[in-house]
Structure 1
């Protein structure tokens, strides 16, 4: 049994996407969602910090690790994807060279696409004042990264070839996650084609259906208290 400490954000979606794909691939891992309401400050509670010292979700606790020992906790979404993929032997590619590519593009998402798109969202959607330099800086960087992904996808069904992997699951939630400040995807046909294919997968749809189940207020403007918890601590 996996305890998934989760809130429906792009990083949270990565893990539910993988867990649902594993079920469809015949490698189901039973999991229980432990909501971490980041707008109420749950991420700062001592019991959560014990498994996620960077006060960020998602995190997991695996009560049945492969070595048969005590429960294992894992924080950081990329580390969780690697851990679960290794545990089940799924979605890492078919051989050592595939594994290298999957790891490269997972790290690309963790170090580039996620943080830069997140900063784009912060300065375009959440910042209390408009800072033109920051807005332009992160918009250009988000678009640059979309261009990198578009070129990578030319001639490939998925990021690392014909196989769907955790590299795709990591990147997918970070494509245009801010409805209040959408990026123009028209210049990136390969990204649009790839994104639509993943959106159509039953596992993706089940993973995203958890959003309203866990947070019925998803999509509503942030309250002052939520802003304080998310940006003021």
Structure 2
């Protein structure tokens, strides 16, 4: 059994995408969701910090690790995807060059595509005052990164392999929010084709249905804003 500490954000969706696709592929991979309401400050609770010291979700606890030992906890979405791929033997190619390509695009996402689009989200939607320089800087970087992805997907069904891989799980949830960062997918036709094909997959649809259970339309309060954007992790 795997405990998934989760909230329906792009990084949280990465892991439910993997798990739902793995179950559909026949993997014996039972999991349960442990909600981490980041607006309410659950990410600062001591029990969660014990497995995710960066006070960010997602995180997992694998109660049946491959070595048969004590439960293994993993934080950071990219590390979780790699861990689950190794555990199941799914969504990473077996050959050296295939694995390198998947790792390259996974790290491209966690090092650039996610953080830059996240800053775009913040300054366009949540910043208490408009900062034109920041909005322009992250909008331009967002467009550049979409261009990189569009060129990569030219003539390809998937980002890094001939079949679905953890690179696709990493990139899709951020691309799905393209309207949040003012990107018209029609300007990136290869990204749109890839995005629409993945959106039609039953496991992807189930993943987002799971998210709806926890997602509620809430007015942003001062407390939520502090929990999401301004509260440091407690000192030990």
- Confirm or deny a common fold (TM above 0.5): yes
Structure 1 counterpart of 2:221? 223
Aligned ranges 1:50-69 → 2 under 5 Å: 50-69=50-69
Relative to structure 1, the CA distance from residue 189 to residue 178 in structure 2 (aligned partners, 3 Å threshold; closer, same or farther) is closer
Q: Secondary structure at the match of 1:207?
A: helix
Structure 2 counterpart of 1:151? 151
Structure 2 counterpart of 1:208? 208
Partners of 1:180 and 1:85 in 2: how far apart? Answer: 30
Partners of 1:105 and 1:123 in 2: how far apart? Answer: 25
Partners of 1:37 and 1:153 in 2: how far apart? Answer: 35
Matched, 1:48 2:48: yes
Aligned ranges 1:112-191 → 2 under 5 Å: 112-177=112-177, 179-191=179-191
Structure 1 counterpart of 2:2? 2
Which structure 2 segments of 5+ residues have no match? Answer: 232-236
Do the aligned partners of 2:178 and 2:184 also contact (CA within 8 Å) in 1? no
Do the aligned partners of 1:121 and 1:178 also contact (CA within 8 Å) in 2? no
Structure 2 counterpart of 1:71? 71
Q: Deviations 1:49-84 (Å, cap 9, x if unpaired)? A: 000000000000000000000000000000000000
Give the stretch that moved more between structures: 219-228 or 130-139: 219-228
Do the aligned partners of 1:19 and 1:28 also contact (CA within 8 Å) in 2? no
Partners of 1:92 and 1:16 in 2: how far apart? Answer: 17
Matched, 1:196 2:196: yes
TM-score normalised to the size of structure 2? 0.95
TM-score normalised to the size of structure 1? 0.96
Aligned ranges 1:89-104 → 2 under 5 Å: 89-104=89-104
Relative to structure 1, the CA distance from residue 181 to residue 146 in structure 2 (aligned partners, 3 Å threshold; closer, same or farther) is closer
Deviation (angstroms), 1:185: 1.9
CA RMSD of aligned residues (A): 1.2
Do the aligned partners of 1:176 and 1:183 also contact (CA within 8 Å) in 2? no
Aligned ranges 1:29-40 → 2 under 5 Å: 29-40=29-40
Q: Secondary structure at the match of 1:70?
A: coil
